[in-house]
């Protein structure tokens, strides 16, 4: 490995011929697959796409409510600590592996044979993660559309549902306290029209056991428009159009700052904002607060999805991803704090305007409905409602688009013949994937299915995500080897991370993940789950982890048929060394074959064949055949020379 590093240091100081693949720059990608999939040509592209992904709905909707529930500023300190101790070593794993091997998540986990099926589980998790996000974005689109109506339906009572008792004005008795069949206009619009969690005939709540009601056509229309908009945005990400994405990011940040400054300037904004700023240690030092801090760090950063690792595979070989990890962690925390200040300021204005008592304030939930109710009381409310809902639309749609496009890149990497290196096929298969995911999301258009969205989101956040990350940590830090991973990082960056991050990755991170998973399972078992909810949990876990289990069992069965001894099964846990186009070229040129490849520097056709070959075994086979042919020709030349010498000797002697 030291010789390999010396080869890199020598390469940086020398200028070489283009045809000399023994000393060629590994940043240049020659294979058709990588050119077809695309790669980042500058350093800013990777950061811009990651920032657009982290501006998603998790920081906007869930983070402020978690901070308020677990002690304000003291929970923020705990969250920042978890962000660095958990996210930093985790990002090093995903970005380091993706960039080093230049392969998607479907290929990278083949470095350990027994876990080769984990990539399928990660891709399925990415697809399932889009479902709750798309539901939230579709709800925001409904509010955006209805804000242009003559009479805003969540402010005044209408005669749409005559059998539902509607309180005509906001009051501190009916706004947030659950009173049977006495609902505010905002509750009627949200529970009946937007989520469909109540029956429009009498206002009663749907449960998981009450069956499914009729379809909600306004929600269905908004959902179709949302998926069409996502498909249009996917062209920007598939083509890696960095400049339009940069403008898209700047517009999002500008809209967020405008809404935040307007919220702070509202009357009484500080009333609830103090709950976000002032610490409360009693609420912070609980098991639930630790679990929420850990799971939000993981889920908001997309750690268990295919996005981070697959996006990192588009980087150049010597890209400094260590700097990117620091930037992303800091930006993720800052965005969460800004969203919290904005939402708590609006809730403070709402509480002051309605003159709610201290007991009633505790029932106020920080969510989209509450924020829109508060914005509806501001002057020029239509403008601010449009800005807020448009911001949710823009960040939510692009987060889902990045998840879907990373799935497409994984398919290109794993099934290149399916795409045929055709741009038309790429966009057609992308359309087919969107249509398939839309039909999976279609049941949410029916009344009474909103509870399934919450069940799926909690399952992904508290159980599936920590389990996948725990397996990744076992693969990299224990089976693959922390020292080997550090040496590979040094090949790319010229330096490696220190031993503190190895300590975090091998001790703190696994302990936190085990605690989060076990605590989530215990809480789930202690709560009285309905039969349908239990079925959803079992079926979803089975679907997500089935490919992983099939690959593991298949590997064991293959060795069992060979009738090998028990020690032979260790090979399933041994890391595979040479994998991926970068490792393929650099290993061949840097360690074993520099002299042999030097013989073919003038043979441009053979060098081009080597560059376009994906499989390492094929390269070795072609090199062996080529060298064998050379040896045979040399033998023939020697035989011819011997014959000519013998003939000359006979004639002259």
Q: Are 461 and 295 in contact (CB under 8 A)?
A: yes
Q: Looking at residue 178, what DSSP letter applies?
A: -
Question: Strand runs (DSSP E) across 141-213, as ranges?
Answer: 165-166, 182-183
Q: Are 449 and 196 in contact (CB under 8 A)?
A: yes
> Is residue 332 part of an annotated ligand binding site?
yes
The set of residues, in sequence order, having a beta carbon less than 8 Å from that of 187 and lying 6+ positions away, is none
Here the tokens at position 59 are 């920081």
> Is residue 586 part of an annotated ligand binding site?
no
Reference 134, options 508, 428, 392; nearest CA is: 392
**Which H or E run contains 400?**
helix 381-414
Q: Are 101 and 119 in contact (CB under 8 A)?
A: no
User: What string of DSSP letters covers 15-33?
Assistant: ---TT-TTS--TTS--SHH
Q: Looking at residue 177, what DSSP letter applies?
A: S
How far is the C-alpha of 401 from the C-alpha of 315, rounded, in Å?
19
**Which H or E run contains 587?**
helix 581-587
The set of residues, in sequence order, having a beta carbon less than 8 Å from that of 19 and lying 6+ positions away, is 601, 602, 604, 607
Here the tokens at position 459 are 């399952």
Residue 417 dihedral angles phi and psi, to the nearest 5°? -70, -25
Considering just the CA atoms, what is the radius of gyration of the chain in Å? Answer: 29
CA 194-195-200 angle, to 5 degrees, is 80
Burial 594-605 (b: 16+ CB within 10 A, else e): eeebeebeeeee
Question: Strand runs (DSSP E) across 537-627, as ranges?
Answer: none
CA dihedral 359, 365, 366, 372 (to 10 degrees): -100
Measured on CA atoms in the order 82, 77, 306, 47, is the torsion positive or negative? negative
CA atoms within 13 A on the CB side of 572: 19
The Cα-based distances of 307 to 94, 105, 300, 401, 471 in angstroms read: 9, 9, 12, 10, 17
Neighbours of 545 (CB within 10 A): 20
CA 104-108-114 angle, to 5 degrees, is 140
Q: Parallel, antiparallel, or unpaired: how do β-strands 165-166 and 182-183 relate?
A: parallel
The Cα-based distances of 551 to 464, 554, 561, 607 in angstroms read: 18, 5, 16, 35
Neighbours of 372 (CB within 10 A): 25
> Is residue 300 part of an annotated ligand binding site?
yes
> Is residue 210 part of an annotated ligand binding site?
no
How far is the C-alpha of 407 from the C-alpha of 429, rounded, in Å?
11
Q: Are 230 and 407 in contact (CB under 8 A)?
A: no
What residue numbers does the annotated binding site cover?
Answer: 59, 300, 332, 399
What residue numbers does the annotated binding site for Na(+) cover?
Answer: 59, 300, 332, 399
């Amino acid at each position: 490995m030291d010789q390999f590093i010396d080869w890199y240091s020598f390469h940086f100081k020398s200028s070489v011929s283009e045809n000399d693949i023994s000393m060629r720059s590994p940043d240049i990608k020659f294979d058709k697959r990588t050119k077809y999939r695309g790669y980042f040509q500058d350093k800013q592209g990777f950061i811009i796409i990651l920032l657009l992904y982290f501006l998603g709905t998790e920081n906007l909707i869930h983070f402020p409510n978690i901070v308020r529930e677990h002690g304000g500023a003291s929970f923020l300190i705990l969250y920042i600590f978890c962000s660095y101790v958990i996210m930093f070593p985790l990002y090093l794993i995903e970005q380091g592996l993706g960039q080093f091997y230049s392969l998607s998540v479907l290929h990278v986990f083949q470095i350990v044979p027994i876990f080769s099926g984990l990539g399928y589980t990660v891709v399925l998790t990415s697809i399932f993660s889009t479902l709750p996000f798309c539901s939230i974005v579709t709800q925001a689109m409904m509010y955006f559309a209805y804000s242009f109506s003559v009479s805003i339906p969540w402010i005044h009572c209408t005669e749409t549902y005559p059998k539902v008792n509607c309180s005509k004005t906001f009051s501190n008795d009916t706004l947030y306290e659950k009173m049977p069949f006495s609902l505010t206009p905002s509750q009627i619009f949200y529970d009946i029209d937007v989520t469909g969690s109540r029956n429009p005939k009498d206002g009663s709540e749907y449960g998981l056991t009450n069956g499914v009601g009729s379809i909600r056509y306004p929600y269905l229309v908004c959902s179709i428009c949302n998926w069409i908009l996502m498909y249009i945005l996917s062209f920007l990400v598939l083509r890696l159009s960095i400049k339009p994405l940069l403008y898209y990011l700047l517009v999002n940040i500008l809209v967020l700052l405008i809404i935040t400054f307007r919220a702070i300037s509202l009357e009484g904004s500080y009333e609830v904002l103090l709950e976000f700023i002032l610490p409360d240690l009693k609420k912070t030092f609980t098991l639930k607060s630790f679990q929420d801090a850990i799971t939000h760090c993981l889920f908001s950063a997309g750690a268990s999805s295919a996005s981070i690792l697959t996006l990192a595979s588009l980087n150049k070989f010597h890209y400094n991803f260590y700097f990117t990890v620091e930037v992303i962690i800091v930006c993720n925390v800052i965005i969460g704090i800004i969203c919290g200040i904005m939402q708590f300021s609006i809730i403070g204005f709402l509480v002051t305007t309605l003159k709610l008592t201290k007991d009633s304030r505790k029932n106020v939930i920080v969510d989209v409905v509450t924020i829109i109710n508060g914005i509806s009381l501001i002057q020029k409310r239509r403008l601010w409602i449009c800005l807020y809902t448009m911001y949710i639309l823009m960040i939510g749609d692009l987060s889902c688009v990045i998840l879907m496009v990373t799935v497409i890149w994984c398919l290109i990497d794993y099934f290149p013949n399916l795409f045929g290196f055709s741009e038309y096929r790429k966009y057609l298969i992308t359309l087919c994937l969107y249509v398939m995911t839309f039909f999976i999301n279609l049941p949410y258009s029916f009344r009474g299915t909103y509870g399934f969205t919450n069940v799926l989101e909690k399952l992904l956040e508290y159980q599936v995500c920590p389990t996948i990350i725990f397996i990744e940590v076992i693969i990299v830090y224990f089976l693959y080897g922390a020292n080997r991973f550090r040496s590979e990082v040094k090949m790319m960056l010229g330096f490696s991370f220190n031993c503190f991050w190895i300590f975090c990755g091998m001790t703190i991170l696994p302990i936190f993940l085990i605690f989060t998973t076990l605590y989530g399972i215990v809480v789930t078992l202690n709560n009285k789950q309905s039969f349908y909810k239990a079925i959803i949990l079992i079926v979803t876990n089975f679907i997500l982890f089935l490919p992983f289990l099939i690959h593991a069992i298949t590997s064991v069965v293959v060795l069992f048929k060979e009738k090998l001894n028990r020690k032979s099964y260790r090979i399933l846990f041994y890391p595979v060394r040479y994998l991926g186009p970068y490792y393929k070229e650099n290993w061949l040129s840097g360690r074993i074959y520099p002299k042999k490849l030097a013989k073919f520097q003038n043979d441009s056709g053979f060098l081009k064949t080597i560059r376009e070959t994906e499989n390492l075994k094929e390269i070795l086979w072609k090199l062996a055949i080529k060298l064998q042919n050379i040896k045979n020709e040399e033998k023939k030349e020697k035989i011819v020379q011997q014959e000519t010498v013998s003939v000359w000797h006979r004639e002259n002697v």
